[in-house]
Chain A
Amino acid sequence: DTGVSQDPRHKITKRGQNVTFRCDPISEHNRLYWYRQTLGQGPEFLTYFQNEAQLEKSRLLSDRFSAERPKGSFSTLEIQRTEQGDSAMYLCASSNLGTGDNSPLHFGNGTRLTVT
């Protein structure tokens, strides 16, 4: 399968713990996005990488959130000192800059986080 893969699929953690999610984009894709989705809402943009550079961060991304894409391939999203309000589906998506502005986003299956 050469699609976007995310790990883990599900994560249950206690409030105050740190969690880290991983995303492996489609190999030739140089753009990588993180979105968050809660029940009944559409995905909300969190952050964007072009290759290894983090070019945009949403105001939704508090200081407890950090994302990296060290070699321009896979990316990690870390949440420190989790809160119950962080419970959501975290979606990673990738696209190819080379195919133009209308290149679609390809989403992974997401990581569902539950903070108890």
Chain B
Amino acid sequence: RKEVEQDPGPFNVPEGATVAFNCTYSNSASQSFFWYRQDCRKEPKLLMSVYSSGNEDGRFTAQLNRASQYISLLIRDSKLSDSATYLCVVRELNTGFQKLVFGTGTRLLVSP
């Protein structure tokens, strides 16, 4: 079983749609959670951290369910520029070293 699992997609949505991505992680000792965005042939960039209480940044809302080991990202009012791969990322504590583990990513395509 992969440490961080995501549906690879692609998710094809029209502009203005609301789309949700899910992610599950296997290590119950995971400490921190993030969503990164990666454009085609570019490096990953931090989109937002994910907090237990849920957090929002403009059109983006992230949720964490520690009991179910589940993370979600909701994008409202999708824009063409939202087309990218969204990587679910978990920080694991491993004998004093904290490693970021990436999922395979979910690809989003927003069309006019």
Contacts and interface: CB of A to CB of B under 8 A. Distances in A.
**Are A and B interaction partners?**
yes
Contact of A42 (B49, B97, B103): B103
Contact of B91 (A42, A43, A101, A110): A101
Interface string B19-50: 00000000000011010000000111110010
A12 interface: no
A42 B102 contact: yes
Contact of B99 (A40, A42, A48): A48
Contacts of B32: 101-102
A105 interface: yes
Interface string B68-106: 000000000000000000010001001001111111110
A104 B34 contact: yes
The contact size tier of chain B is 20 to 34
B44 A107 contact: yes
Contacts of B44: 43, 91, 105, 107
A42 B31 contact: no
Contact of A105 (B8, B42, B46, B105): B46
Given A102-B49, A109-B42, A45 B101 contact: yes
Nearest to B47: A104
B101 A110 contact: no
Given A40-B8, A56-B94, A101-B31, A45 B100 contact: yes
A91 B99 contact: no
> What are the nearest 8 A-B pairs in CB distance?
A42-B102, A107-B43, A104-B46, A56-B97, A43-B102, A42-B104, A42-B103, A42-B105
29 contacts: A33-B100, A40-B8, A40-B104, A42-B102, A42-B103, A42-B104, A42-B105, A43-B44, A43-B87, A43-B102, A45-B99, A45-B100, A48-B99, A56-B94, A56-B97, A56-B99, A91-B43, A101-B32, A101-B91, A101-B98, A102-B49, A104-B34, A105-B100, A107-B43, A107-B44, A107-B45, A108-B43, A109-B42, A110-B43
Interface of B: 4, 8, 31-32, 34, 42-46, 49, 87, 91, 94, 97-105
